[in-house]
Structure 1
């Protein structure tokens, strides 16, 4: 049987008393007050509620007595079982018109709470499953295979991961025909087990969310491998390419893997944040790279004078100790850009 909690009962009382000009009490299935406009009564036995539970009907108390106050008490039924009682204190003839309205509202709020609890439970189970399949050390057991099938995944079938990040908080689900998992408030992971569907999915996401960033893994035997590839490719996309929205791991595999290795280097870690407060310099370096180090094209794209570009490149050199015009230093600058991205 469903059991009302103190927090749930008190929240319902607080909501109802904004619109009802009487004190409201909510009692559990034993008649103990667990929510009330009069906080001093919480934890005490409500005799009117005990009578309503025992008689399985509305109990009206028309005058105050030693252990009861006048008012109306209505059993709260859920799935044909009494889970508690709601009481409205006051003259019966004044509280009676509110009785069924309050009872219906309380039941509705309880059902909403149950539904939300169930939804949160399902989300937690889904998140636990996702954490398992993206852990490289997870063994594919029969139980995990069955669980995967429930989410539309054939666990031992090769798959690609489409990882999507948004520049804003995403509260709604991505509407696709593929298994998808929310990885943060700003990102989703989509599992695709049909290679010829990637282009279709990409177009679908771009049409629905034109501001989204998309990275695509290679086809892998384990979902965990694809997830790591897609995330490392996303870091390359957001770190290096200022005007791109889509990247595939296969197109940046070497630099993505090297950036992951660099991330573990303590000296490289110290350099990562050197350009953090210089958005202008970051943008300049990104455009410089996208223009294949062509200074004239870079200046044109940035709408600045060639001398201004040279000044900015020199500032990058001064701040980082890495010269953008030196190919070896430029590689280190690329890693700095990539490893800035979480």
Structure 2
């Protein structure tokens, strides 16, 4: 049997009393007041509610008595079971017109609450499943394989992972797709097992709703945990090195990713990152210089600055970090610095 909580009941009372000029009480299935415009009555037994529960019908009380106040009390039924009672205190002839209105509103709010709880349970189960499949220690048991089918995933088939990071909060609508899983407010994982669906997913599902999102795509993998690891690693390269692109495939940067992972805790790169940490202009200049394949003219044009200004910035990077962007070996260190500053 569904049980009303104090929190639900009080929320309903507070909302209804904004529009109705009478005190409203909501009682549980035993007649105990669990929501009221009069806080002192919460936790006490409402005798009018007890009578309404026993008689399974509306009870009107015309006069104040020792344990009851005049008003109208209507049982709340869900699927033939009384889950509570709503009471309106006041003259019966005045409160009667509001009775069924309040009762209907209460039932609607309860139905909404039940639907929300079911949706939350469904989302929690989906999240628990996702947490399992992205754990590299998880074994694909027959039970997990069967559960995956619920989300349109065949764990026995290779898959690709699309990893999305958006500057705006990702809505529930996008995660309603069976194989889409929310990682955080601003990140999402989509599991694809048919490679011909990648482009359509990128354009129709993500591109239309989140044009400013960064997207990385893994290789085909036997496990989803490996796919997500690849996609996240590629994301670091995308956000660290590229300033004018929104999408990257792990296959494009696999070697760089592997090297960056080896250097992940290198204190020398951390030191370089700290030196440039507060100078976004220099970081963006370095990124665009790389994006333009070290072509100074293209870089200056895209930055809309004079080439001398570009040379001044590149020299400034050299002076601050001790690494010359025009020297291929020292530029390599700067590249890994850009990647490893993205966590």
Q: For residue 177 of structure 1, report the CA deviation from its aligned partner.
A: 6.9
* Contact kept? 2:151, 2:178, Cα under 8 Å: no
Residue correspondences, number? 342
Give the RMSD, CA atoms, in angstroms: 1.8
Q: Which residue of 2 aligns with 1:143?
A: 143
1:317 to 2:305 alignment: no
TM-score calculated relative to the size of structure 2: 0.94
Residues 223 and 109 (structure 1 numbering): CA distance in 2 closer, same or farther, change over 3 Å? same
Aligned-pair distance for 1:257?
A: 2.1
Name 1:295's counterpart in structure 2: 296
Alpha carbons of structure 1 residues 143 and 271: separation in structure 2 relative to 1, 3 Å: farther
Deviates more, 1:172-181 or 1:83-92: 172-181
| Pairwise CA distance, 1:263 | 2.3
Moved segments of 4+, more than 6 Å: 175-178
SS across alignment from 1:252:
helix
User: 1:104: which partner in 2?
Assistant: 104
Superposed CA offset, 1:11-63 (max 9, x none): 11111111111111111111111111111111111111111111111111111
Instruction: Give the whole-Å Cα distance in 2 for the aligned partners of 1:62 and 1:177.
Output: 55
Q: How many angstroms apart in 2 are the aligned matches of 1:66 and 1:274?
A: 78
Matches within 5 A, 1:107-126: 107-126=107-126
Deviation at 1:273, TM superposition (A): 4.2
Q: Secondary structure at the match of 1:300?
A: helix
Deviation of 1:84 (Å): 0.6
Assess if the C-alpha contact under 8 Å between 1:214 and 1:234 holds in 2.
Answer: yes
* Change beyond 3 A, Cα 1:287–1:118: same
Structure 1: segments with no counterpart, 5+ residues: none
Match of 2:191 in 1: 191
In structure 2, the CA distance between the partners of 1:113 and 1:69, relative to structure 1 (3 Å rule), is: same
* Aligned residues of 2:270 and 2:341 also touching (Cα < 8 A): no
Report if the CA contact (8 A) 2:169-2:185 is conserved: yes
Cα separation, 1, equivalents of 2:190 and 2:342: 21
- The aligned residue for residue 258 of structure 1 is 259
Q: Give matches, 1:196-275, under 5 Å.
A: 196-204=196-204, 205-275=206-276
Structure 1 position 156 matched with structure 2 position 156: yes
Q: C-alpha separation between the residues in 2 aligned to 1:246 and 1:29?
A: 56
**Aligned: 1:58 with 2:72:** no
3-state DSSP of counterpart to 2:324: coil
Could you tell me whether the CA contact under 8 Å between 2:216 and 2:232 is conserved in 1?
yes
Q: What residue in structure 2 maps to residue 276 of structure 1?
A: 277
SS of 2:335's equivalent in the other structure is helix
Structure 1 equivalent of residue 91 of structure 2: 91
> 1:287·1:298 contact (CA, 8 Å) conserved in 2?
yes
> Per the alignment, do residues 319 and 87 of structure 1 end up closer, same or farther by CA in structure 2, a change over 3 Å counting?
farther
Match of 1:31 in 2: 31
Q: TM-score scaled to structure 1, two decimals?
A: 0.95
Residue 72 of structure 2: aligned partner: 72
In 1, Cα distance between equivalents of 2:60 and 2:267: 74
* Distance apart, 1:271 and its partner CA: 4.2
Indicate the residue corresponding to 2:4 in structure 1: 4
| CA positional deviation for 1:341 | 2.5
For residues 122 and 271 of structure 1, do their structure 2 counterparts lie closer, same or farther at Cα, with a shift above 3 Å needed? Answer: farther
Q: SS where residue 263 of structure 2 aligns?
A: helix
